[in-house]
């Protein structure tokens, strides 16, 4: 039914000069439609030229299509006619038109719109009268979005689109086409024709045929030449269909898995960067508050959680250790900013040096006592002891080394 619709459309447009674009998967037989159109058109007695655009190197495609003058490039020893000049009055079929380079697409658009072209190396405009048909297995709209195909050329080619369905969507044709191929190869190689058992026919019809008609033709030729037994059963047929029963899902699953793993890593990276941004914002907020309102007891009490988050135990312990080496050591305290001058919080020191030293000694003793208790209670496990003390494990190691524990 789907193939009948495509053939009927080809017959309807054959008597006109409308450009036709044939689309479909590789191997579905797109090249047969332009020949049908040409043979049913008023141009049938004039040339029909089929050009595989994907098989011509980019550097010579313009010369192949439009011709060149002598000396136009290295190796151009004479004037040459291109396909558009040779097919004047007939039909040109451009297979794999999606593979054309952009520069050639511009030239082709001009031929379609005005019937004019210029040979490579020439300045003379020439006229041609050709009917253009083209085919592609590339999704041209996707190629347009990627900048690989001109949108204006697409709409000029796609005056009428004929879509050829894949073989798996027209199962009723599979056995009929297979029999035609078998008959052709029997005549070619002078061999008795093959026959399929009913189960083999069922297997043939239900196969997916990723290579479409091209794969079916190759299968018919292999069976005709290789098999001595002309009655083909499912066991024999399965030997020529190695992918039968296999699904493409595992490969697709692997690709999805790789994509998923990459997405997870990206999400983790985004989260880390987002947390770093929040920390920087906290530092900015604290700095602005210090600059605006100054550092007071009330300020430190109100913002204790923010100060701990920004500076943390590591910073406090590090500063405390640095200051403890001095004679007048003291616990870490944020400075107070007033009128552009730095002042030390009054509650940190007493006026008497001896009082400060006694407080420092008392704090060190308490710290040493707490560390010893935590280590004893956790049977010397430093990680557990650090967690109980509320400090990092690295800080605990430093304290143990400091007190020679």
For 280-321, give the DSSP string.
HHHHHHHHHHHHHH---HHHHHHTHHHHHHHHHHHHHHHHHH
Question: Which of the pair, 285 or 295, is modelled with greater confidence?
Answer: 285
pLDDT exceeds cutoff 70 at 310: no
Q: What is the pLDDT of residue 252?
A: 45
Tell me which of 79-93, 103-117, 147-161, 368-382 is least confident: 368-382
Instruction: Answer whether 360's CB lies under 8 Å from 330's CB.
Output: yes
pLDDT exceeds cutoff 50 at 332: no
Question: Which of the pair, 360 or 55, is modelled with greater confidence?
Answer: 55
Q: What is the mean pLDDT of residues 149-175?
A: 93
Q: What is the mean pLDDT of residues 341-348?
A: 45
| Top-confidence range, 85-99, 266-280, 306-320, 384-398 | 85-99
Q: What is the mean pLDDT of the chain?
A: 81
d(CA 78, CA 66): 14
pLDDT exceeds cutoff 50 at 370: yes
Percent of the chain whose pLDDT exceeds 90: 54
Question: Strand pairing of 195-196 and 231-232?
Answer: parallel
Confidence of residue 349 (pLDDT cuts 50, 70, 90): very low
Confidence of residue 261 (pLDDT cuts 50, 70, 90): low
Q: What is the pLDDT of residue 74?
A: 86
Q: What is the pLDDT of residue 278?
A: 76
Instruction: Answer whether 166's CB lies under 8 Å from 209's CB.
Output: yes
Q: What is the dihedral of CA 101, 211, 135, 183, to 10 degrees?
A: 140
Phi and psi at 80, nearest 5°, equal: -135, 140
Q: What is the pLDDT of residue 9?
A: 94
Q: What is the mean pLDDT of residues 70-95?
A: 93
- In terms of pTM, does the model score above 0.85? no
Residues 6+ apart with CB under 8 A from 80: 63, 67, 68
Task: Report the phi/psi class of residue 23: left, alpha or beta, with left for phi > 0 and alpha for psi in -120 to 50.
Answer: beta
Sign of CA dihedral 381, 384, 388, 390: positive
Instruction: Answer whether 107's CB lies under 8 Å from 62's CB.
Output: yes
Task: Report the phi/psi class of residue 217: left, alpha or beta, with left for phi > 0 and alpha for psi in -120 to 50.
Answer: alpha
3-state helix, strand, coil in the chain (%, to 5): 55, 10, 35
Tell me which of 84-88, 187-191, 232-236, 298-302 is least confident: 298-302
Tell me the residue length of the chain.
405
**Per-residue pLDDT reduced to its tens digit, 203-252:** 999 999 999 999 999 999 999 999 989 999 999 999 998 765 454 444 44
DSSP letters, 67-131, are -B-TTSSTT--S-B--HHHHTTTSEEEEETGGG--HHHHHHHHHHHHHSEEE-BT---EEE---E
Alpha-carbon distances, residue 405 vs 115, 127, 238, 372, 401 (angstroms): 96, 100, 78, 8, 7
Confidence of residue 354 (pLDDT cuts 50, 70, 90): very low
Instruction: Please list the alpha-helical segments (H only) found in 140-211.
Output: 140-145, 151-157, 174-189, 198-206
């Amino acid at each position: 039914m789907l193939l009948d619709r495509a053939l009927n459309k080809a017959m309807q447009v054959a008597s006109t000069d409308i450009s036709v674009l044939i689309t479909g998967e590789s191997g579905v037989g797109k090249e047969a439609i332009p020949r049908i159109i040409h043979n049913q058109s008023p141009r049938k007695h004039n040339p029909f030229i089929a050009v595989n655009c994907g098989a011509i190197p980019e550097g010579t495609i313009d010369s192949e299509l439009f011709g060149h003058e002598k000396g136009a490039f290295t190796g151009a020893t004479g004037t040459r006619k291109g396909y558009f000049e040779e097919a004047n009055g007939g039909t040109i079929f451009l297979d794999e038109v999606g593979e054309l380079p952009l520069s050639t697409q511009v030239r082709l658009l001009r031929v379609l719109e005005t019937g004019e072209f210029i040979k490579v190396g020439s300045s003379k405009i020439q006229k041609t009268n050709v009917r253009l048909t083209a085919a592609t297995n590339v999704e041209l709209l996707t190629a347009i979005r990627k900048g690989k195909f001109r949108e204006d050329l697409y709409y000029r080619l796609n005056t009428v689109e004929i879509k050829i369905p894949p073989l798996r969507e027209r199962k009723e044709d599979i056995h009929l086409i297979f029999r035609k191929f078998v008959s052709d190869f029997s005549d070619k190689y002078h061999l008795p024709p093959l026959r399929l058992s009913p189960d083999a026919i069922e297997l043939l019809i239900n196969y997916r045929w990723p290579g479409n008609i091209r794969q079916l033709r190759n299968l018919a030729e292999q069976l005709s030449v290789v098999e001595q037994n002309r009655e083909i059963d499912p066991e024999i047929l399965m030997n020529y269909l190695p992918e039968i029963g296999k699904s493409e899902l595992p490969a697709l699953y692997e690709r999805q898995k790789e994509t998923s793993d990459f997405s997870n890593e990206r999400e983790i990276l985004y989260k880390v960067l987002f947390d770093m941004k929040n920390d920087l914002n906290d530092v900015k907020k604290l700095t602005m508050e210090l600059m605006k309102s100054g550092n007071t007891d009330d300020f430190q009490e109100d913002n204790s959680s923010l100060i701990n988050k920004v500076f943390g135990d590591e910073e406090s312990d590090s500063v405390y250790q640095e200051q403890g080496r001095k004679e007048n050591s003291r616990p870490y305290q944020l400075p107070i900013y007033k009128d552009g001058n730095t002042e030390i919080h009054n509650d940190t020191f007493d006026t008497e040096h001896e009082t400060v030293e006694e407080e420092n000694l008392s704090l060190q003793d308490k710290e040493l006592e707490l560390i010893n208790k935590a280590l004893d209670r956790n049977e010397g496990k430093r990680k557990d002891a650090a967690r109980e003390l509320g400090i990092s494990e690295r800080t605990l190691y430093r304290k143990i080394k400091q007190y020679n524990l």
